[in-house]
Amino acid sequence: MKHWAFLIMAVTILVACASPKPPAMTVATTSGTPGDGQSVTFKGDALALEGTAIKVGDTLPAAVLTSNDLKPVNLAEAKGKVRIISIVPSIDTPVCEEQTHELSEKNGGLDKQVELITVSMDLPFAQKRFAKEAKIHNVTFLSDYKAAEFGKSTGLLIQPLHLLARTVLVVDNDNVIRYMQVVPEITNLPDMETAMKAAKGLL
Tens of pLDDT, residue by residue over 30-73, are: 999 999 999 999 999 999 999 999 999 999 999 999 999 999 99
CATH superfamily of 2-19+33-200: Glutaredoxin (3.40.30.10)
Q: Which has more confidence, 14 or 154?
A: 154
Q: In angstroms, rounded to a whole number, what is the distance separating the alpha carbons of residues 30 and 202?
A: 22
**pLDDT score at 13:** 52
- Burial string for 179-195 (b: 16+ CB within 10 Å, else e) reads bbbbbbbbbbbbbbeeb
Phi, psi of 68 (to 5 degrees): -65, -20
Please state, for a pLDDT cut of 70, what percent of the chain lies above it: 89
- Interval 74-99 mean pLDDT: 93
Residues classed as catalytic: 96
pLDDT at position 20 over 50: no
Distance of CA 195 to the CA centre of its chain: 13
pLDDT at position 18 over 70: no
- Interval 2-26 mean pLDDT: 54
**pLDDT score at 106:** 94
pLDDT at position 159 over 60: yes
